[in-house]
Amino acid sequence: MSDKIIVAIDGPSGSGKSTLSKMLARRLDFINIDTGAMYRTVALAAARAGIDPEDHAALEQLCANLPISFKRVGVKEQVWLGDEDVSDAIRTPEMSLLSSAVSASPVVRKAMLALQRHMGGNRCGSGVVLEGRDIGTEVFPNAQVKFYLCANDAERGRRRYAQLRQNGQDVSLEQTVAEVIERDHADKNRKHAPLKQAQDAIVIDSTALDTNAVLEQMLHYVHLAQGKKAKGEG
């Protein structure tokens, strides 16, 4: 495992983490793990079971046997809960807000932290890309490459709005921007593993950049890290 490159991508909602982590993993032929989707899946399972986000004992029991997995079908990456593809079900505005509440639970974070480290540290291949809100600070603080993606509120809200509309959801732009800001506040102010930039993270503001421009920047830094690994410096 010593030759593996771990890429940590953090940032707020709508900063492009999910899209870029998939693109980066495909270009590098790395494994991609969407940790945010894991918390959304916990939220979905909790909602279906009628579990209150403040009921930590029930959440702990739920997470102990939650069969979360990722599958890549062609270029599409799917999130599975047991034998059900929940990729679309976890992307609703309701699940966005509920996942923020659920992820604030220390028992949920402990369970997902263990699962994320297992997924990231026990996969074959040359590298892994993980994206979320605490990858570079909590999950893999020793990752060889850390990115913090950001964009202004209006642009992140616009991107989220376009995504939801594309998925057939009837939402307003104003409402979506407000929900993005609300999610930011919850993520940055939660007690356990709040959203924050790692000190050694490479910050990329994508407000005025398209995804390909950001991807090329990210590839540059990963290739530098790979070069250092090859020379025994990393």
Q: pLDDT per residue over 3-39, tens digit each?
A: 689 999 999 988 999 899 999 999 998 888 888 899 9
Tokens of 191: 């007690």
Q: What pLDDT score was predicted for residue 228? A: 82
Helices within 11-71 (DSSP H only): 17-28, 35-49, 56-64
Is 2's pLDDT higher than 70? no
List the chain domain ranges. 5-228
Tokens of 118: 């297992």
Q: What pLDDT score was predicted for residue 74? A: 75
Tokens of 206: 């994508």
Average predicted confidence (pLDDT) for the chain: 90
The pTM of the whole model exceeds 0.75: yes
Which CATH architecture fits 5-228? 3-Layer(aba) Sandwich (3.40)
Angle between helices 106-121 and 56-64 in degrees, nearest 10? 20
